[in-house]
């Protein structure tokens, strides 16, 4: 019920940081593709992910994990209301740290605290309250140019500016209540409030703009994020001929009292102000979603409306820009046919959108239509239970975006890159030959092109065209368990002409463990074959101190090398 993505963020539109989430508190992860779901609005173009936290824990847990590069993690989960029938509550705490494999230690530290309680008043009322806080700080070696590594100036674990880094924190409150009016009707009310702080030092171009002090920048913001939603759900008819109606009204309000960009030196000396201001962005929304099921058929139709109010005060130029308003209707339609329990065929059509940075819209002279570029999606697929042990899913998909934008962080501007069309094929297989053994495999082919650029210049930079994953897991009655997981990303275009490539990779991870009564011991092996891979890659124009002019080159951060860690878990 609480959004993760940040609008008009100091580091980039839609920035999402999930470090405030403790994995052991997650009960399930809901996800799906495309802009087909009325419940999810802004940024729901390629799909959505929803993390649902646990209402209670079955046992107390203490974990300790240590590994290479001075890495450690300690976790505690404690039930604070055991054996209560009308209420549950638990606390979770986590501390994590690592220096990483870099020549300049990363000094990464993170602390998470989470608590949740659930009250049940009779059979019809349920109230939940969760509170959490997370804080983190780190040093970074940043993105390094490939030419510097090739020339032997630095290693792949070195840096050009080792004073990069930052700190961030997020405190959350989520309060929800649901009331069953009767066996067919349900009302849900949800409220969330977040205090978020972010401060990041980066250097993407080194000495291209300032040959004396360097090009380091500081991006910073402080934000209050508040909002909520009230929904009504009612079912009609019988199990074989049923109508399900869901309607909701909601609000998301982002008040960013301080947001800016500064040029700095060595993370300590401010040089100049590029941007400094405040943003107020409100998103009012409502939707109606209706599903009809009869026999082998299910039809879903929905209509969502979003209304945005954006305001920016620029303290650098002393301009208080007039607010802008923009609304958007997003229809959705889905059809599912299930001739039996082993087959499911479906077609999904829908319109979604992604909002754009309020600062760019108000200061850059962009047209109002670019505030909420629409996304149009279509999926045709099937899910087949081939045998009792094999499930196969296959889907053809198409996604068209009215406008894509590239955020140029070191300049604090947003550059429009035009409309795009993406289409592809997804194949997934789940095979469980025995109760203790499971294999999974997924392959995705994607074709992404810009539609407004000349022929030969239509490639979308960094858009993956082929990704695959494979995993094998086993859990034996004797207490032993093991798993192997591989992921592959093929070479992909780094520029619009596909003349420069971002290199792909194949990385394998493994884990093995043994459980005895309440004790579990396990070992994790990341990057099992010590593959030299690049985690992030960008085509960037930069200048080193010994270069007379800026040079365009692939800049990257190295992917994790072979890393061994051990974990001890005690349940009580």
Decide: helix, strand or coil at residue 394: strand
pLDDT in tens, 459-507: 999 999 999 999 999 999 999 999 999 999 999 999 999 999 999 999 9
Does the pLDDT of residue 368 top 70, yes or no? no
**Helix, strand, or coil (residue 24):** helix
In this prediction, residue 367 carries a pLDDT of 56
**What integer pLDDT is reported at residue 369 of this predicted model?**
60
The per-residue pLDDT for range 92-114, each reduced to its tens digit, is 999 999 999 999 999 999 999 99
How far apart CA 21 and CA 2 sit, in angstroms, is 12
pLDDT tens sequence across 31-59: 999 999 999 999 999 999 999 999 999 99
| Long-range contacts, stretch 412-419, CB < 8 angstroms, 24+ apart | 412/261, 412/274, 412/275, 412/359, 413/360, 413/364, 414/13, 414/356, 414/357, 414/360, 414/364, 414/366, 416/366, 416/370, 417/450, 418/450, 418/451, 418/452, 418/453, 419/450, 419/451, 419/452
In tens, the pLDDT along 152-168 reads 999 999 999 999 999 99
The per-residue pLDDT for 409 is 57
Average pLDDT over residues 345-371: 84
Helix (H) or strand (E) holding 177: strand 164-182
**SS3 category, 23:** helix
Percent of the chain with pLDDT over 90: 89
Asked if 54 contacts 27 with a C-beta cutoff of 8 angstroms, the reply is yes
- What count of other Cβ atoms lies within 10 Å of the Cβ of residue 56? 16
- Helix (H), strand (E) counts: the chain: 2, 30
> How far is residue 536's CA from residue 557's CA, in Å, rounded to a whole number?
5
Look at residue 366 in the predicted model and tell me its pLDDT: 55
Calpha distance 429→426 (Å, rounded) = 10
Sign of CA dihedral 150, 200, 191, 310: negative
**pTM higher than 0.75 for the full model?**
yes
pLDDT score at 407? 66
Dist CA 303 CA 312 (whole Å):
30
**Mean pLDDT in residue range 303-328:** 94
Closest Cα partner for 254 from 226, 275, 234, 273?
A: 226
Q: What percent of the chain shows pLDDT beyond 70?
A: 98
The pLDDT confidence band at residue 354, using thresholds 50, 70 and 90, is very high
pLDDT above 80 (res 448): yes
Q: What is the DSSP string of 178-247?
A: EEEEETTEEEEEEEEEEEEEEEEEE-SSBTSS-TTT---EEEEEEEEEEEEEEEEEEEEE-SSEEEEEEE
Q: Closest Cα partner for 558 from 145, 177, 184?
A: 145
Q: What pLDDT does residue 362 have? A: 83
Give the whole-angstrom CA distance, residue 524 versus residue 486.
14
- What mean pLDDT is reported for the chain? 94
At residue 410 the predicted structure's pLDDT band, cuts being 50, 70 and 90, is low
Q: Which of 181-195, 238-252, 364-378, 405-419 has the lowest mean pLDDT?
A: 405-419
Sheet bearing 551-558, strands edge to edge = 144-145, 551-558, 534-542
DSSP summary character for residue 455:
T
Q: State residue 406's pLDDT score.
A: 74
Neighbours of 460 (CB within 10 A): 23
User: At a CB cut-off of 8 Å and minimum separation 6, what does 472 contact?
Assistant: 437, 438, 439, 483, 484
Q: How many angstroms from the chain centroid is the CA of residue 399?
A: 19
């Amino acid at each position: 019920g609480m959004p993760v993505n940040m609008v008009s963020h100091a580091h980039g539109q839609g920035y999402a940081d999930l470090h405030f989430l403790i994995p052991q508190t997650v009960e399930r992860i809901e996800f799906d593709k495309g802009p087909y779901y009325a419940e999810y609005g802004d940024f729901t173009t390629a799909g959505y992910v929803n993390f649902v936290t646990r209402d209670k824990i079955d046992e107390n847990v203490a974990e300790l994990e240590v590994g290479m590069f001075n890495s450690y993690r300690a976790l505690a989960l404690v039930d604070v209301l055991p054996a209560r029938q009308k209420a549950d509550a638990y606390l979770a705490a986590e501390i994590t740290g690592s220096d990483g494999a870099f020549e300049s230690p990363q000094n990464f530290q993170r602390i998470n605290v989470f608590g949740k309680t659930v009250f049940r008043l009779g059979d019809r009322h349920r109230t939940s309250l969760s509170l959490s806080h997370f804080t983190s700080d780190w040093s970074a070696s940043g993105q390094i140019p490939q030419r510097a590594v090739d020339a032997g100036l630095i290693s792949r674990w070195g840096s050009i500016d080792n004073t990069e880094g930052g700190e961030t924190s997020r405190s959350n409150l989520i309060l929800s209540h649901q009331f069953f009016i009767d066996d067919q009707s349900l009302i849900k009310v949800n409220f969330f409030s977040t205090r978020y702080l972010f401060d990041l030092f980066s250097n993407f171009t080194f000495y291209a703009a300032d040959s004396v002090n360097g090009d380091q920048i500081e991006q910073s913001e402080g934000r209050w994020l508040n909002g909520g939603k009230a929904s009504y759900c009612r079912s009609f008819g019988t199990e074989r001929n049923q109508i399900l109606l869901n309607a909701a009204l909601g609000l998301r309000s982002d008040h960013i009292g301080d947001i800016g960009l500064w040029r700095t030196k060595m993370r300590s000396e401010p040089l100049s102000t590029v941007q400094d201001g405040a943003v107020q962005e409100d998103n009012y929304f409502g939707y109606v979603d209706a599903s009809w099921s009869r026999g082998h058929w299910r039809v879903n139709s929905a209509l969502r409306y979003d209304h945005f109010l954006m305001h920016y005060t620029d303290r650098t130029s002393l301009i208080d820009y007039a607010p802008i308003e923009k609304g958007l209707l997003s229809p959705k339609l889905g059809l599912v046919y299930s001739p039996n329990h082993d087959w499911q065929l479906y077609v999904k059509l829908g319109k979604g959108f992604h909002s754009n940075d309020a600062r760019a819209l108000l200061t850059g002279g962009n047209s109002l239509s670019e505030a909420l570029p629409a996304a149009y999606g279509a999926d045709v697929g099937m899910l087949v239970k081939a045998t009792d042990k094999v499930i196969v899913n296959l889907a053809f998909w198409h996604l068209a975006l009215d406008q894509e934008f590239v955020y140029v962080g070191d300049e604090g501007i947003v550059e429009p890159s035009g409309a795009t069309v993406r289409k592809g094929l997804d194949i997934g297989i789940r095979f469980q030959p025995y109760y203790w053994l499971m294999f999974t495999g997924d392959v995705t082919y994607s074709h992404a092109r810009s539609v407004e650029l000349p022929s030969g210049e239509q490639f979308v930079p960094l858009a993956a065209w082929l990704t695959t994953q494979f995993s094998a897991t086993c859990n034996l009655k004797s207490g032993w368990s093991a798993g192997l997981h591989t992921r592959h990303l093929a070479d992909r275009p780094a520029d619009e002409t596909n003349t420069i490539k971002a290199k792909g990779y194949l990385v394998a991870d493994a884990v093995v463990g043994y459980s005895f009564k309440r004790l579990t011991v396990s070992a994790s092996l990341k990057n099992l074959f010590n593959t030299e891979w690049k985690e992030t890659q960008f085509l960037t124009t930069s200048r080193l101190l010994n270069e007379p002019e800026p040079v365009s080159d692939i800049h990257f951060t190295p992917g994790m090398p072979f890393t061994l860690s051990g974990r001890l878990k005690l349940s009580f």
